[in-house]
Amino acid sequence: MNNNLATVEAACRDLAAAGHPITFTTIAERTGISRTTLYRNHQLRAVIEEHRHHSHDPRTLTGLTTEIAHLRTAVQASPTESATTKNDSADSKPPHAAAKPTEIPTLKQNPAHTAARLAG
């Protein structure tokens, strides 16, 4: 699985560096991983979608909103992985101190403040 993730990330980087569009079909052809697997595997799909939107969206409010939405999807797709990572960290916060998804600021609440935090 980790090998597929590294392969997909490398293919996305190569396509982006060459200025080619990043599509599920192109990634499937370059990696030998079926499109079905790319769509069904949440981690692989999140990587591809992140690269697709990052390569197309400039750092505008709309682009940042799209990027935040995709990052939320990626985080929500693998809750067990992030829980394991938190537990393995020596300086991790207790579970009750973690931010709730509803507490994540959105650009609609205060675009200038959120954009400044994301840029800094």
CB 44 within 8 A of CB 33: yes
Cα–Cα distance for residue pair 98/2, rounded to 1 Å: 27
| Residue boundaries of the structural domains of the chain | 2-79+99-119
Q: pTM higher than 0.75 for the full model?
A: no
CB 11 within 8 A of CB 30: yes
Check residue 43 and give its pLDDT: 93
Check residue 107 and give its pLDDT: 47
pLDDT tens digit sequence for 54-89: 766 456 666 677 778 878 888 887 766 545 555 555
Check residue 68 and give its pLDDT: 82
Tracing tokens 């992985």 back to the chain, one arrives at 81
Q: Which residues of the chain are modeled with pLDDT < 70?
A: 1, 55-63, 79-120
CB 54 within 8 A of CB 12: no
